[in-house]
Amino acid sequence: DVKVTQSSRYLVKRTGEKVFLECVQDMDHENMFWYRQDPGLGLRLIYFSYDVKMKEKGDIPEGYSVSREKKERFSLILESASTNQTSMYLCASRTTGGVLETQYFGPGTRLLVL
């Protein structure tokens, strides 16, 4: 069974803290994605990775970085959290060459930055 897991369901952090959001997939997918979901804006792509150690900026990369040291794990890093990064963060994965329908999402991490 397909599985994308995210390390935390809820997270509360203080402004200025460094925050790590972890995502793990067990499907041997090459491609992994980080989105944020905000009311009225839908899902917006932050970063994606098409292979280990490879990354590309999405539509809203400012304030974020990513790490992909192993194929199954994709980390989103908030170097210095700010209140405008309070959001729902969704990770997804897909195999290279796979149809778009095979992009699977994790359950999300709801981050609150105080």
Partner 1 sequence: DQQVKQNSPSLSVQEGRISILNCDYTNSMFDYFLWYKKYPAEGPTFLISISSIKDKNEDGRFTVFLNKSAKHLSLHIVPSQPGDSAVYFCAASDDDYKLSFGAGTTVTVRA
Which residues of the chain form contacts with partner 1 (CB under 8 A)? 4, 9, 31, 35, 39-45, 48, 58-59, 90, 92, 100-108
What would the 3-class secondary structure string for 33-52 be? EEEEEECCCEEEEEEEEEEC
Q: What minimum distance in Å lies between the beta carbon of 28 and partner 1?
A: 18
Q: What minimum distance in Å lies between the beta carbon of 15 and partner 1?
A: 26
How many whole angstroms separate alpha carbon 72 and alpha carbon 14? 29
Nearer Cβ to partner 1 (2/79): 2
Q: How far is CA 98 from CA 51, 75, 94, in A?
A: 14, 22, 7
Nearer Cβ to partner 1 (1/39): 39
